[in-house]
Amino acid sequence: MNKKKKDFFYTRYLQKQIYFRKNAVVNALFNLEKYLFENFEFKEDIPTSYIKQKWIYDCINENDYSNEISSQFKVFSERRLKKRILNLIDSFSQIPNISESKMFLRAFQKFNDQFNNLLTSESNNNFKTNVYFQINFLIYLKKLKSEEIFESNKMFEDNLVDIFETIFLEIFIKNKNYKISKIFYLYKVLVRLIIKK
């Protein structure tokens, strides 16, 4: 595991290896998701994360790929996806404070829809990431202790297609585990795959 796969973005790493091997656009999209999630703040009225979102927005908009972070996203301009990516970042910047739970969910669903549209249009499969996975992934990453709506069983009612996301949700939500080891996670995935056979 290299440095970029820390903070439990191992789920995305496995998805890239299984579904999107050698797909530069999806790799950049997952890296953008990581950047946005790492810089999001749940409880601020005007999140300081907006400044970092604006910075990456401006880099992509102005084709400035001269630094370590923005260089990961050069493929968006090369593939003429710049406008769609800027819309995606803009949607993410509209996600409000967590105290506005209904608005939070609505805004996050919009971001998830745009994210999935980019995934399906830039790959040869119908993979879609689940909105409750993304929300709880963000909660896990930011270590937000929450007993709120995101921990409902609703996410398990929507037959999640992807095993990697399902296993993450089962470990995190059911056990409220904020320190999931990669070995334990991979073990659970392998057990599920064996049971399915």
User: How does pLDDT run across 6-48, given as a tens digit for each residue?
Assistant: 444 789 999 999 999 889 999 999 999 999 999 988 776 556 7
Q: So what's the pLDDT on residue 146?
A: 61
Pick from 20-24, 132-136, 137-141, 149-153: least confident: 149-153
- Alpha carbon of residue 50 to chain centroid: 17
Residues found in the chain: 197
Q: What is the mean pLDDT of residues 92-113?
A: 88
The whole-chain average pLDDT of the chain stands at 84
Q: Helix or strand or coil: residue 2?
A: coil
The answer to whether the beta carbons of residues 95 and 40 sit under 8 Å apart is yes
From CA 129, how far away is CA 112, in angstroms rounded? 8
CB 176 within 8 A of CB 170: no
Instruction: For 157-189, write each residue's pLDDT tens digit.
Output: 555 678 999 999 888 887 777 888 889 999 999
Domain ranges in the chain are 3-196
Nearest alpha-carbon partner for 42 in 115, 176, 129, 135: 135
User: Which amino acid is present at 5?
Assistant: K
* Coil, helix or strand at residue 35: helix
Q: Which tokens belong to 16?
A: 């890239």
Q: Is 106 within 8 Å of 141 (Cβ atoms)?
A: no
Could you tell me how far CA 86 lies from the centroid of its own chain? 16
Regarding pTM above 0.75, the answer is yes
113's CB contacts (< 8 A; 6+ apart) are: none
